[in-house]
Structure 1
């Protein structure tokens, strides 16, 4: 027995040392306690021999009981100390929940603060079938929710599915989708009434992106959707939504919180996060919704009436590069995901001619007084005959007349004065060899050929806008530099980006790229282009009472086999007011129809649209007519020298705005009474009536 005691203790000591060496800490604790247990047993041995049989059995029983207590202690040590993290997670997994916090995607506004793209929260309502009978009120509350008429659900069918889910211990069942904020609030009232918990009923929120007048803005604002790299989250796929994705994108945060068993109350010891704004930033565009509407409507009307295949329009502030409006129409239902204003290249035709004339004037190769003998209206270049579009264009033309009459032959003669290298340098100066850098995704890179690879005819055809391809944004940007003082600006669509408090975090400022022509030459170009409207090919673009300038164009459409007969790109590019241009307007129609060839030309198809756009913008923006100055004599019809009256008659006010009428009579003793809204439809007294004794006039607006 003595040796058994020694061997037992020795075994415990060796096992104790081995368990420590191999880091078997639970075994170490067990052997340590077992060692003292045996010491206790051996210490009680003598006392055991002196006991009677009853006491011996009692002592033996207590020793056995002590051994089991020892095992329980070891198990408790294992759970509370060595497996503490495991069981802690087990407990928390039954009461913790992953909460996802979402921000809102940033809004997109026009230049006047009108929302063009904004968010609507929509909700999915889910029920936990396994908790259906946890409380008496749970099923009653769900039935009350299903009674809501806006859910339009088969109540019996849903309850049957929930019952099946309960039997299979399912945790989630969707019972309603696409709920609005108002509908969600109605259901929340039921949830509060029946004291339903998050463990029984819950809402999952998602965002529905809403766009203002998709037909106006779909090719510009774009849209959001899923991509291969978006990780099941909607991101900007096209347009400004894509270009400014990193600013517009909302932030989502997933946090794990610990609740009471019914998940109704968050436990106070769960971690609280620092509050942060999760919303995306707001984009403020340069687009003017009023001008956008005017441009879209006028281009669309002509697009339909002319039977064109496609139509494009863009309006720019020539003094900053701000794009104020764009529009695009096509007969093709499945139109490509692109915006032709920035992503289509086309031969511009005669609207390109002012660029070449200005370049030749800037290089001192010609003057405005230069003469060009175009003879019978044809010229032969490299075995190719170039003719005038109009048979009436003949004889000797000045530089101004080359543009006003849109002479192809005259433009070839001007082009001949350049070397190929000089010609290319001016094309580069006006930005036709580079992207404009506009903040729109996928702007098309210009297709260009170095001058050393030009054939003999290349420069001649480019002189009148054929043989070179440009995007509409390139064309209007270059043209704007002709009439704004000679500065080529980088065009842009977004004015500023703000946070939720309206603080500007980024602003796009007008960016001058380079000087294309001198300020003096720019003034000359405005005069020439005004003549083109009053005397030349853009006569149908004239606007009564306003000074406007511009150039029409008619480009033959090319294919791999040559140019298509009687298929044209009809266009016009213009600006107003002439003295201080505020708007540059480009309008294009692809393959317009007409009974004669001339009805398909830019001067016939596009020029009237330009005039209508100018009229509507001038009224919308209260731009005073140039004719108002001719009525200024009304202001002083009493002679300052003699007490005599000047013979002044009532002007025709039809079509004027109230502001213009008040301006005309602002310094007279005549009182102006106005009825209605809009523009002047009727006036009293009538036009031509002497104003000698008139003290009051009335105008009726419509």
Structure 2
């Protein structure tokens, strides 16, 4: 018996020892070899990864008007199981329905919630698109009924991108969408070009938590708050000018039944883009033609060549050109005037004013091919302008040695060369701003969320092309084109406007289509010190007669209407108003008594603001009635104002 006991004891001891060695081996294996695997498993059970992303930056116009911005959106929901136990909840629901926060009929909705509550359901959505303002208003209602955070609650806060007047700004501001990542990013326009500034930063933090409840443990510690928001973009675009340009372009687009219409307005002295507009019948194409389409400009190109010839002293303003019967043959190709009445001897001024094709060929002949090509390069025709907009098109440059005999002749009047509208208006600006080619730009500056400017775009002069004397002479001749030439339909009484129209033949598959045109107008004002330059283009305009398709009819009226409205919005006084002010302050001495006399100005057609400005500082009392412009005045124009104490003005 004793021997058996000892044997059993040894066996048990051996088993225990063996188990101990296995346990020790397993502990060593876990501690030394498999420790990382077990740590990872524990972390997965305990830790929660919290990802944080900053809010996308906003896009503003030059006056701070939000054009693109991100807002928080919330889902308003109800817990039916708890709702039916509350006496106040139905009252709150009724108020939410009455105030349109919930867009359902009250009684059917109440019945549906009661039914879900009896079935012990805990969720029903009331509205999934509640913004921050609405959320605050709803929370105030819940607070009043003392049920805030109980049975009517907010869930799933999310960010959404909103755009101001997308019909006006879509092709400029652009939009966001999914590309290669799960996060939305800029895919078009300014949203794409300035993506790295707008997108903001992302961060990720591992927080020890009760995983099932998503509650952070006290041991997690407090994380430091970092501003992850994107930067804000401030455009050079003026919302007032944008509205005016867009409105006038839309009217003319519909009136001419064009296939496409686009326009751009700039400050010719800086390169700031102030407004753009774009309309198209084919909605599938989303390219912005102002920056991404190359077109034959037609006659709006002529001032560039005339200015270059004046600069090189190859011609003068009153140099004569014999255009014969209005035709010229070059390399077995006959070039004709658009008007059969244009014949005989004309001056450089008339070439521009009447838009003579033959005259331009004769001016072009004064250049060698190399000289002509050099000026095209100076005007920026062979390179991108560098405007801050994605995918700007670059003109294909053909080597001079490859030009055929007709190339220079057709380019002299704007055919046989394709440029983008932004290239064209940039080059034209140099003709009328004193001869400087500026880089165009759309973004003025970029700020962080504290308003600190972190980047500013400044006017960039690329090169000096023309002398001021040449530029001044070009402005004068272009003003005559509005007063007496092809741009007459852009004339506005008492305002000095310069401009040039264009009517380029439409080409398809390398061949020109008969009676289909790209009609355009380039205009600037005021003439003496241009503040605004505008290019408006209409693709394949239709009309009852052929003349209705030309630039002078299809496009020029837009320039005139824009000038009328911009001068009012920007308080640019007309020439007439300025003269009236001088007259109203001018003193005449009476021969009889040597007393100073003032003359009454003619106020008809002026606004109340202009009348008040004229009599500013005077002791004369004004009694103005009605609205609109001056219809009658109690004292006739040019009458003496001596001893006059009161003048009655009636507006209509």
TM-score (norm 1): 0.80
- Please tell me whether residue 303 in structure 1 is matched to residue 253 in structure 2: yes
Among 602, 609, 612, which residue is 2:558 paired with? 609
- Please tell me whether residue 223 in structure 1 is matched to residue 175 in structure 2: yes
1:69-468 equivalences under 5 Å are 93-123=44-74, 140=82, 150=102, 177-181=128-132, 193-194=149-150, 203-227=155-179, 229=180, 231-260=181-210, 263=213, 265-334=215-284, 336-468=285-417
Give me the whole-angstrom Cα distance separating, in 1, the residues matched to 2:429 and 2:84: 65
Pair 1:701–1:344, CA change in 2 (3 A): farther
Instruction: Give a deviation string over 1:400-454, Cα, whole Å, max 9, x none.
Output: 1110111111111001111111111011110111111100001011133222111
Give me the whole-angstrom Cα distance separating, in 1, the residues matched to 2:149 and 2:490: 69
Pair 1:159–1:95, CA change in 2 (3 A): farther
Contact 2:316 2:348 in 1 (8 A): yes
Contact 1:649 1:688 in 2 (8 A): yes
Give me the whole-angstrom Cα distance separating, in 2, the residues matched to 1:184 and 1:534: 59
Instruction: Give a deviation string over 1:28-82, Cα, whole Å, max 9, x none.
Output: xxxxxxxxxxxxxxxxxxxx99xxx9xx99x999989997996999699679967
Contact 2:56 2:229 in 1 (8 A): yes
Pair 1:369–1:655, CA change in 2 (3 A): same
Pair 1:158–1:337, CA change in 2 (3 A): farther
In structure 1, the residue corresponding to 2:338 is in which secondary structure? coil
Give me the whole-angstrom Cα distance separating, in 2, the residues matched to 1:88 and 1:139: 41
Instruction: Give a deviation string over 1:245-280, Cα, whole Å, max 9, x none.
Output: 000002232222123476475322214333211100
In structure 1, the residue corresponding to 2:605 is in which secondary structure? coil
Q: After superposing the two structures, state which structure 1 stretch, 690-699 or 297-306, moved more.
A: 690-699
In structure 1, the residue corresponding to 2:518 is in which secondary structure? strand
Pair 1:111–1:194, CA change in 2 (3 A): closer
In structure 2, the residue corresponding to 1:522 is in which secondary structure? helix
In structure 2, the residue corresponding to 1:425 is in which secondary structure? helix
Give me the whole-angstrom Cα distance separating, in 2, the residues matched to 1:259 and 1:676: 72
Q: Gaps (5+ residues) in structure 1?
A: 1-47, 128-136, 167-171
Q: CA deviation at 1:85?
A: 6.5
Contact 1:108 1:117 in 2 (8 A): yes
In structure 2, the residue corresponding to 1:524 is in which secondary structure? helix
Give me the whole-angstrom Cα distance separating, in 1, the residues matched to 2:435 and 2:635: 46
Q: CA deviation at 1:370?
A: 1.1
Pair 1:176–1:661, CA change in 2 (3 A): closer
- Please tell me whether residue 589 in structure 1 is matched to residue 531 in structure 2: no
Q: CA deviation at 1:665?
A: 2.3
Pair 1:184–1:377, CA change in 2 (3 A): same
Pair 1:102–1:355, CA change in 2 (3 A): same
In structure 1, the residue corresponding to 2:162 is in which secondary structure? strand
Give me the whole-angstrom Cα distance separating, in 2, the residues matched to 1:395 and 1:612: 35
Give me the whole-angstrom Cα distance separating, in 2, the residues matched to 1:609 and 1:685: 37
Instruction: Give a deviation string over 1:499-540, Cα, whole Å, max 9, x none.
Output: 001111011110011111111111111111111111211111
Give me the whole-angstrom Cα distance separating, in 2, the residues matched to 1:448 and 1:457: 16
- Please tell me whether residue 627 in structure 1 is matched to residue 627 in structure 2: no
Give me the whole-angstrom Cα distance separating, in 2, the residues matched to 1:669 and 1:345: 60
Q: After superposing the two structures, state which structure 1 stretch, 560-569 or 211-220, moved more.
A: 560-569
Pair 1:376–1:80, CA change in 2 (3 A): closer
Contact 1:650 1:686 in 2 (8 A): no
Q: After superposing the two structures, state which structure 1 stretch, 79-88 or 451-460, moved more.
A: 79-88
Q: Gaps (5+ residues) in structure 2?
A: none
Report how many aligned residue pairs link the two structures.
Answer: 626
Give me the whole-angstrom Cα distance separating, in 2, the residues matched to 1:264 and 1:143: 28
Pair 1:518–1:262, CA change in 2 (3 A): same
Give me the whole-angstrom Cα distance separating, in 2, the residues matched to 1:694 and 1:542: 37
Q: CA deviation at 1:628?
A: 2.4
- Please tell me whether residue 494 in structure 1 is matched to residue 446 in structure 2: no
Give me the whole-angstrom Cα distance separating, in 2, the residues matched to 1:635 and 1:468: 53
In structure 2, the residue corresponding to 1:259 is in which secondary structure? strand
Contact 1:303 1:310 in 2 (8 A): yes
Contact 1:284 1:496 in 2 (8 A): yes
> What is the CA RMSD across the aligned residues, in angstroms?
3.9
Pair 1:122–1:701, CA change in 2 (3 A): farther
Give me the whole-angstrom Cα distance separating, in 2, the residues matched to 1:547 and 1:76: 96
Give me the whole-angstrom Cα distance separating, in 2, the residues matched to 1:76 and 1:625: 96
Give me the whole-angstrom Cα distance separating, in 1, the residues matched to 2:353 and 2:256: 25
Pair 1:66–1:421, CA change in 2 (3 A): closer
Give me the whole-angstrom Cα distance separating, in 2, the residues matched to 1:484 and 1:161: 77
- Please tell me whether residue 504 in structure 1 is matched to residue 453 in structure 2: yes
Give me the whole-angstrom Cα distance separating, in 2, the residues matched to 1:261 and 1:433: 62
Q: CA deviation at 1:562?
A: 2.2
Instruction: Give a deviation string over 1:345-368, Cα, whole Å, max 9, x none.
Output: 111111111001001111111111
In structure 2, the residue corresponding to 1:112 is in which secondary structure? coil
Contact 2:264 2:273 in 1 (8 A): yes
TM-score (norm 2): 0.86
Pair 1:695–1:565, CA change in 2 (3 A): farther
| Structure number with bigger Rg | 1
In structure 2, the residue corresponding to 1:269 is in which secondary structure? helix
Give me the whole-angstrom Cα distance separating, in 2, the residues matched to 1:138 and 1:91: 38
